[in-house]
Amino acid sequence: MATKVQPMTGAQEAAKAAASLSNEEILRYSRHLIMPEVGMEGQLKLKSAKVMLIGTGGLGAPLGLYLAAAGVGRLGLVDFDIVDFTNLQRQVTFSSGDVGKPKTEAARERLSGLNPDIQIDTFETKLTSDNALELFKDFDIIVDGTDNFPTRYLVNDACILLGKPNVYGSIFRFEGQVTVFGMPGGPCYRCLYPEPPPPGLVPSCAEGGVLGVLPGIVGSIQAMETIKLILGSGESLVGRLLLFDALAMRFRELKLRKNPNCPMCGEHRTINKLIDYYEFCGVRGEEAPAPNVQVPEITPRELKSRLDRGDDLFILDVREPHEFQICNLKGHLIPLGELPRRVHELDSSREIVAHCRSGKRSAEAVDFLRKAGFRKILNLKGGILAWSDEVDPSVPKY
Amino acid sequence: MGVKVIIPTPLRPYAGKRDSTEVKAGTVGEALGRLTTEFGDLRKHLFTEDGKLRSFVNVYVNDEDIRYLAKENTPTKDGDTISIVPSIAGGLCDGY
């Protein structure tokens, strides 16, 4: 298969020597060994287990740390991303010094420092329909710690095709969902959600963000479920959807049934191979995707020189009030969602420049206002991010 | 006392930032109808243009999925809890 998959070296012998524990390992895992629920038998099961983590970000951080610490013999890490400053607020595997490094590499350093006795295979690649089956085949359990719909459907389908459990967790702001898919007789992700939301209805950054501790909690629950599957003990979340609201600090549980007509795991499977998940998530939606509206633009440099020239320009900021507090260009604030009912605050005879963080929301605002009859309106290309890069670096990026 | 409807985080911006509300309703369909009458912006997030519940939004009465009960005709009584549970993927925000 034409992928860049390069399993890095690990303690290859670890997998072979899974039949016993060294004295050092006995000491390391003593708090497991003295529990009858784990014991020597359970610890050896952990040692011979092979778990694949999809994503080494917010959910992947506690997953990697706890599974490595628990002595899971072989961990596979798949991620194509680079550590970024904005990751450090929640992706606790990484240190400030890791910024700029590939996430798989930084995670491997951290996890092998935590437990040198386990084998860590890193795959610095995007999970795709071309490589997923090949990557998954050597692992017993797949843990979904991704952040987007196409990859979630891909992980689900690959797990069903290979008959492997999929420990699922997902988060949004301060709310999480956890369950286990792909167990014999149990439901899959498509039983729960046959289709993804159309792109136009996926929440935008204006409603996005995530409380840093949340992936820590949800990922830890996924780690616990993974360990229970390996040990074969306790009651797994198969057939139950666990909902967690961190703000209310409330856990709830809903019944999750296997859909007999599921196209993936039902009696008459109609999906027999991996498909194009971007198309599945992007084109099959009920609404056309909203972004990339073509509207007249002004670059940050042009805007700066026109302002310096003293041109009469009205700056319209369509972000949210809490974003305005982070930084602003002294514009008039009307959040995109409030624009239709606050349009009277604008004077269509003046020239207006609309902006947001990156230029996408403001493009929608410009499009809306043009349809409402505004003629002299421009979108600030690249938004505040570009303004900071090209005109005024003292404006913080977020 | 009516039927409690729990509004999930992603839909709260369209429901006056409420995390739950109470309605008088004899069926799930009635309850969602009341809810989207009170909060008009919610409608397009819950229903398609021809009025069908969207396939990425699940609705539960207490802990049961209405797809395995009588769907929107599932009866509700005072004290029941309706949960709206949309699919969430994670932090991706598409560069907004």
Give the start-to-end residue ranges of the domains of chain A. 12-282, 297-390
Name the residue among A61, A43, A363, A366 with its Cα closest to residue A216. A61
pLDDT in tens, B11-27: 998 899 899 999 999 99
Task: Name the one residue in this structure whose structure tokens are 């409030």.
Answer: A338
CA distance A127 to A151: 7
Q: What angle do CA B90, A279, A358 make, to 5 degrees?
A: 50
Across the interface, whether the CB atoms of A173 and B54 are under 8 A apart is answered: no
The hierarchical CATH code for the domain A297-390 is 3.40.250.10
Q: Provide mean pLDDT across the span A218-233.
A: 97
The pLDDT of residue A19 is 80
Does the structure show a pLDDT above 50 at A4? no
Does the structure show a pLDDT above 60 at A204? no
DSSP secondary-structure letter at A7? P
Does the structure show a pLDDT above 60 at B47? yes
Query: Where is A315: in which H helix or E strand?
Result: strand A313-317
From chain B, the residues in CB contact with A379 under 8 A are none
Q: Looking at A11-20, A75-84, A338-347, B20-29, which range is the least confident one?
A: A11-20
Does the structure show a pLDDT above 80 at A29? yes
Q: Using 50, 70 and 90 to split pLDDT, how confident is the model at A237?
A: very high
Across the interface, whether the CB atoms of B94 and A202 are under 8 A apart is answered: yes
The reply to whether B92 touches chain A by the CB within 8 Å rule is yes
The hierarchical CATH code for the domain B3-86 is 3.10.20.30
ipTM for the assembly:
0.91
The pLDDT of residue A202 is 66
Give me chain A's average pLDDT, please. 91
| Alpha-carbon separation of residue A317 from A355, A356, B41 (angstroms) | 5, 6, 22
| Alpha-carbon separation of residue A355 from A170, A362, A371, B29 (angstroms) | 31, 5, 18, 40
Q: Provide mean pLDDT across the span A152-178.
A: 96
Name all contacts of A182-186 with Cβ < 8 Å and 24+ positions apart: A182/A142, A182/A156, A182/A265, A183/A236, A183/A238, A185/A258, A186/A238, A186/A239, A186/A258
Sign, CA torsion A241/A246/A247/A252: positive
The pLDDT of residue B89 is 85
A356 catalytic per annotation:
yes
Across the interface, whether the CB atoms of B44 and A201 are under 8 A apart is answered: yes
Across the interface, whether the CB atoms of B89 and A202 are under 8 A apart is answered: yes
A262 catalytic per annotation:
no
From chain A, the residues in CB contact with B95 under 8 A are 205, 358, 360
* Residue of A191, A262, A281, A356 with catalytic role: A356
> Of the ranges A83-97, A186-200, B77-91, which is most confident?
A83-97
| Alpha-carbon separation of residue A291 from A344, A353, B13 (angstroms) | 25, 19, 20
What length does chain B have? 96
Q: Which residues of A32-46 are buried (b: 16+ CB within 10 A; e: fewer)?
A: bbeeeebeeebbbbb
From chain A, the residues in CB contact with B58 under 8 A are 192-193
Within A76-200, residue ranges assigned H as helices are: 103-114, 132-136, 149-162, 189-192
More confident residue, A113 or A174: A113
Nearest-CB residue to B91 (from A147, A247, A255) = A147
- Residues 6 or more apart whose CB falls under 8 angstroms from that of A314 comprise A332, A346, A347, A350, A351, A352, A353
Task: Name the one residue in this structure whose structure tokens are 């440099």.
Answer: A301
Q: Using 50, 70 and 90 to split pLDDT, how confident is the model at A299?
A: very high
The reply to whether B50 touches chain A by the CB within 8 Å rule is no
Q: Using 50, 70 and 90 to split pLDDT, how confident is the model at A198?
A: confident
The reply to whether A200 touches chain B by the CB within 8 Å rule is no
CA distance B3 to B79: 6
The reply to whether A301 touches chain B by the CB within 8 Å rule is no
Q: Provide mean pLDDT across the span A325-354.
A: 95
DSSP secondary-structure letter at A291? -
The pLDDT of residue A208 is 72
The pLDDT of residue A209 is 82
**How close, in Å, is residue A376 to chain B by CA atoms?**
24
* % of chain A at pLDDT higher than 70: 91
Q: Using 50, 70 and 90 to split pLDDT, how confident is the model at A183?
A: very high
For the sheet containing B20-23, what is the strand order? B20-23, B3-6, B81-86, B57-61, B64-65
**How close, in Å, is residue A213 to chain B by CA atoms?**
13
The pLDDT of residue A12 is 52
Tell me the CATH class for A12-282. alpha beta
From chain B, the residues in CB contact with A152 under 8 A are 89
CA distance A216 to B77: 37
Across the interface, whether the CB atoms of B96 and A252 are under 8 A apart is answered: no
From chain A, the residues in CB contact with B80 under 8 A are none
* Residue of A205, A262, A265, A281 with catalytic role: A205
Q: Provide mean pLDDT across the span B75-92.
A: 89
The pLDDT of residue A197 is 86
Cβ count within 10 A of residue B68 = 12
* % of chain A at pLDDT higher than 90: 85
Name the residue among A307, A298, A275, A305 with its Cα closest to residue A363. A298
pLDDT in tens, A275-286: 999 999 884 433
From chain A, the residues in CB contact with B10 under 8 A are 172-173, 175, 203, 207
Q: Provide mean pLDDT across the span A112-141.
A: 97
Does the structure show a pLDDT above 80 at A297? yes
* % of chain B at pLDDT higher than 70: 94
Report the Cα–Cα distance between both ends of chain B, in Å, rounded. Answer: 41
CA distance A226 to A141: 7
Does the structure show a pLDDT above 90 at A74? yes
Across the interface, whether the CB atoms of A205 and B45 are under 8 A apart is answered: no
Interface test with B, best of A54, A149, A153, A244 (most B CBs within 10 A): A149
DSSP secondary-structure letter at B21? E
Q: Using 50, 70 and 90 to split pLDDT, how confident is the model at A17?
A: low
Rg (CA), chain A: 25
From chain A, the residues in CB contact with B69 under 8 A are none
Q: Using 50, 70 and 90 to split pLDDT, how confident is the model at A8?
A: very low
Across the interface, whether the CB atoms of A205 and B54 are under 8 A apart is answered: no
pLDDT in tens, B60-79: 999 999 999 999 999 999 99
Give me chain B's average pLDDT, please. 90
Give the start-to-end residue ranges of the domains of chain B. 3-86
The reply to whether B44 touches chain A by the CB within 8 Å rule is yes
Q: Report yes or no: A329 and A318 within 8 Å, Cβ to Cβ.
A: no
**Residue A96 corresponds to which tokens in the numbers above?**
């400030």
Q: What is the dihedral of CA A283, A193, B70, A184, to 10 degrees?
A: 140
Name the residue among A180, A170, A155 with its Cα closest to residue A240. A180
Name the residue among A351, A360, A352 with its Cα closest to residue A383. A360
The reply to whether A207 touches chain B by the CB within 8 Å rule is yes
Nearest-CB residue to A147 (from B55, B83, B89) = B89
Does the structure show a pLDDT above 90 at A294? no
Within A54-102, residue ranges assigned H as helices are: 60-70
